[in-house]
Structure formats: C-alpha cells, structure tokens
Amino acid sequence: MVRTRPPTRLPLAEFARRKLADLAERGILRRLATSRRGAHQEVERDGRRLVAFCDNDYLGLTQDPRVKAAAQAAIAAHGAGAGASRHITGNPPLYEALEARLAAFKGHEAAVVFGSGYLANVGAVPVLAGRGDLVLIDELAHACLFAGAQLGGARVCRFRHNDLADAERLLATRRHRHERALIVTDGVFSMDGDQAPLAALQDLAGRHDAWLYVDDAHGLGVLGAGRGTAAEQGVRLSLGMGTLSKALGSYGGYVSGPAPVIDLIRSRARSLIYTTGLPPAATAAALAALEIIEREPERCRVPLAHARRFAARLGLAKPESAIVPLVLGTPQAALAAQRALEEAGFLVVAIRPPTVPEGTARLRLSFTAAHRTEDIDRLADAVRALGLA
C-alpha cells in the first residue's frame, strides 16, 4: 500500500516564520543591510563608517570617474534599459563592441555577454552537456556551476577539491558510458582563494576526450596582468567564463571561446534567450573598465600584493589570489567575529553553510586596489588582537 503524507494545514506565513526561526537558531539566517559605498572601500552602514574587506570590486573601478562617466553618457544617449531580450529587440548599442573587446582580451575568437555571471553559467553549461553526457565538477566550484550542470540533465559527479587523481579515477571508470564529458572548475575558488591546476586539468581533459570549462570570475582583472588565472599560469584555454561585476566594476557575465561554440550558446542558452539584455550603462561601464585594465596593468597587481601584505603580517600562508579566508568553524563563531571587527571599524561578512561546507564557517577577506595600506595593517592588527588568525 502506498503511504501518502496528510496535507499540511499550516498557513503560508506561519510556515515561513517557523523556517526563519530554525535558520536563526542554526546561525544561518541571512538579512540584507543598506550600505552606501564610497572611495577607498569605505562603507556607511547603520550610521557608522566602516572599511569593507568583503566585496569583489578588486580594482576599485565601481567608483572610478571614467567608468561612471561612461555609464552616464550611455544612459543619456541610449536610455536606461534594453527593453527586452536581445533575441527580440536586437543588441543594444555597445554590446557588439563589448563582446569583441572581451574576446580579444581573453585571446578567443568570440564572446557572448549575459545578464550576470550566474546566468552565464546556468545558460552555457547545459548547452555543452545534457542528457547522456557526463559533467565532472570540483566539489568547491561555485553554486551556479552546479546549477548549470544539473539543469542540463547530464550525469554530475563531484571530484575532491583540486584532486587530479580523483578526477582521473572518475573519468577512467565513467567516461566510456557517456557521449560527451565536461570538466568544470573555478579558476580562483571564491571562498578559499586558491587556484585550480589548469594545465593539469587541460591535459586530463585531452587524454579522456573531454572539454574543460573554467569560471574565472575572481581571476579576471587580478591575475595574469588582469587577463586571468590561465594567463597567470601560462595556459591557453579554448573556453572560459568571467564576470563584468567584480574587477570590471559593472554588471553582467560572459563566455568566450571558438566562434561556433559562442554562436551555439547564443542560439540555445535559455538564460540569454529569455532574459532582458543588459542596460546600456552596464555595457559602457564594462568597456571603459576594460580599457583601463589594458592601459594600467600595474593596477591589476595591487590586490594580490595587498592580500600578501596582510597574510605576511599575520604569518599566514602566501595567498594565491586577492581572497584570504579565516576559517573559524561554526556559524556562531563567524558571526561573533564579524561583530567584533565591526566594532573595530571593519566590514568583513561571515560566510556560513551552505555557501561553505559544514564546520568551515569563516570570514572571507578580499583585498582591492582601492584599499589603503594603513587600513590593511590596522585590519591585521585587529584580527591578531581578536585571536582570529
């Protein structure tokens, strides 16, 4: 006999209240706070001025006068929004210029811009791997990569973080059962700050007739003279993804690679077809930011140098990116550390499950070209005084 659950009699609002209470008790309830961002990563929140070490504006370009002027000029010339999907209204002005510039910057034939990095991954990955295919994904890859892999209906297998032997084992035992195989990883892992071994992964993909897809959202603008993790490691990738919303200081995401692959993504990616195009201000700002990066490559070296200055002051391992995690264990410990640093004048947000694995709640510190060295040193002193490192 099939047993069925009795229908719930709980009102919707009461259901939500109980869920919220449970999240709060476990220390993983999330709330939004109003903040006003300014120069040098200064933030005004709840009437206090704090120095933020938690966002991804790695080059400080969200506040750059040249980027803001480009966005303002685009609004004046082309309006505030795109009106509809690009497949309906066509490319708003500057789209084609931005995609051509991105492709050239990454050394690829073509690029396609999406409404966000999340939309890029949930749209592109299912185009490349669907039913009957295999997706191997690093266990610490970004949530949107997992979402994209699952949306396509492929068989999804996690391999241990940066563990080439585990990835090789999975390919050796499972590749033959599937028509196509895709290896998916971050270039720089957003919560740990370490880099993926791209040359070894590319070699592994080649030996097993698989493709490699790299999300380099946190490498672009920071590593390889701004060109990303692959450039830093001396690897030439045939396909890659990045964002316009971190080091470029704007909004959106992109995928770049061979022209036929990009044409296929343009034609089949649901998150592109069924999403309104980026506003002209966003595309203009991203174009201006790319020009700054190409003209001022020395700016791209600063975030990593700042991260290493902070780590050296505390005797921590040498960072591989602008991200430095301080793993504290429980959500409660991470929240307490966040509050303590706020009292010291810093905004560093606690990162808790499910964003990171259970038992690894942390403070995720990110360093930018806009930070002042005196603020970095003050932060290191505060972290040491609180016993967080």
Catalytic residues: 190, 218, 246
Q: Which residues pair with 260 in a beta bridge?
A: none
Give the whole-angstrom CA distance, residue 316 versus residue 319: 8
Query: What's the one-letter identity of residue 163?
Result: D
Decide if 63 contacts 39 (C-beta within 8 A).
yes
Give the whole-angstrom CA distance, residue 297 versus residue 303: 12
Distances (CA, A) of 97 to 23, 39, 84, 115, 235: 45, 29, 19, 16, 26
Distances (CA, A) of 327 to 30, 286, 315, 324: 19, 33, 15, 10
What values do phi and psi take at 156, rounded to 5?
A: -105, 125
Give the whole-angstrom CA distance, residue 349 versus residue 364: 7
Edge-first strand order for the sheet with 253-257 is 110-114, 253-257, 240-243, 211-215, 181-186, 134-138, 155-159
**Which alpha helices (H) appear in 131-186, and where do they start and end?**
143-151, 164-174
277 CB-contact burial (10 Å; exposed 0-12 / middle 13-18 / buried 19+): buried
